[in-house]
Amino acid sequence: MSASLQTRIPTSPLTVGSVASLNQLACLQPSELAKQCDLLEIRLETMLGHQDLLQVELERFRDIPLLITARCAAEGGEADLTPDERASLLSAAAPFASWADIELASYGDMQDIAKDLRNQGIGLVLSYHNFEKTPYLSELQRIVDFGEDADIVKIAVRHHEVEDLTIGTQILQKNRRPMAFMGMGALAPVSRLLYAQHGSLLNYGYLGDEPTAPGQWPAELLKNGIAASEKIGA
């Protein structure tokens, strides 16, 4: 973990409100956000070609902790961008950010921007997304271990059966480091509450009227659900 990190690692599960587009972001009111989420996620690759408008929006949400990402196409990103192009997007939005999310698969190519972001006191999330399936426990553990440089390792995987929920809870129970884990698909809603109960720190729901992943809760519902759920385990 970074010695110069200013962003504090959360000590309890947070709700991340994710927006699908600049239009959706423009319709949100900063004053309404605190009851809906703890962090605002901006997917920079969905807002290409509107840098001036994006800057206006980032200014408007300046008082809200921001998590930025420029997702690669292979892991659900809306645009096919090179690591350098994604690094430029992250760099331009960095002055507004508390957290940045970079895919583990891109980390080798994006070490420079990752280092630069951390030197600015921005927390580093290293992430893995699988929209097809939930890999075996051993494979997920390998991914967690590979993310040793992260302040938070984040894993989002498609769940198909109830057994997938056992894999998710086991990963959270086995690893004592800061983690975020979530299911996608029909089991996403139950998984997100269950994993927050098991200590998943970043729990994503959507803001506006368009989910950014299959099965997400509206952020406010998720936040209220997490607040009403008892913690499970140590």
The one among 47, 90, 171, 213 contacting ligand DQA by CB under 6 A? 213
Residue 191 · residue 165 · CB < 8 Å: yes
Binding mask 120-159 for ligand DQA (x = CB under 6 A): -------x-x--------------------------x---
- Specify the residue, 52 or 132, whose C-beta has the smaller distance to ligand DQA: 132
Look at residue 113 and give its three-state secondary structure.
helix
* 216 sits near ligand DQA (criterion: CB under 6 A): yes
Round to whole Å and give the CA distance between 179 and 199.
8
For the chain, report the end-to-end CA distance as a whole number of angstroms.
23
Backbone angles phi, psi at 31, to 5 degrees: -65, -20
* 110 sits near ligand DQA (criterion: CB under 6 A): no
Least CB distance from residue 188 to ligand DQA, whole Å? 7
- Specify the residue, 153 or 213, whose C-beta has the smaller distance to ligand DQA: 213
Residue 210 · residue 231 · CB < 8 Å: no
- Specify the residue, 118 or 129, whose C-beta has the smaller distance to ligand DQA: 129
Residue 96 · residue 122 · CB < 8 Å: no
- Specify the residue, 130 or 175, whose C-beta has the smaller distance to ligand DQA: 130
Binding mask 21-60 for ligand DQA (x = CB under 6 A): --------------------x-x-----------------
Round to whole Å and give the CA distance between 108 and 110.
6
Round to whole Å and give the CA distance between 146 and 126.
9
Quickly list DSSP for 132-170. S----HHHHHHHHHHTTT-SEEEEEEE--SHHHHHHHHH
Q: Which of residues 170-209 bind ligand DQA (CB under 6 A)?
A: 182, 184, 204
Token pair listed for 227: 């607040």
- Specify the residue, 118 or 215, whose C-beta has the smaller distance to ligand DQA: 215
Which range in 90-98, 114-122, 210-218, 220-228 contacts ligand DQA by CB under 6 A? 210-218
Residues found near ligand DQA in the complex (CB under 6 A): 18, 41, 43, 69, 127, 129, 156, 182, 184, 204, 212-213, 216
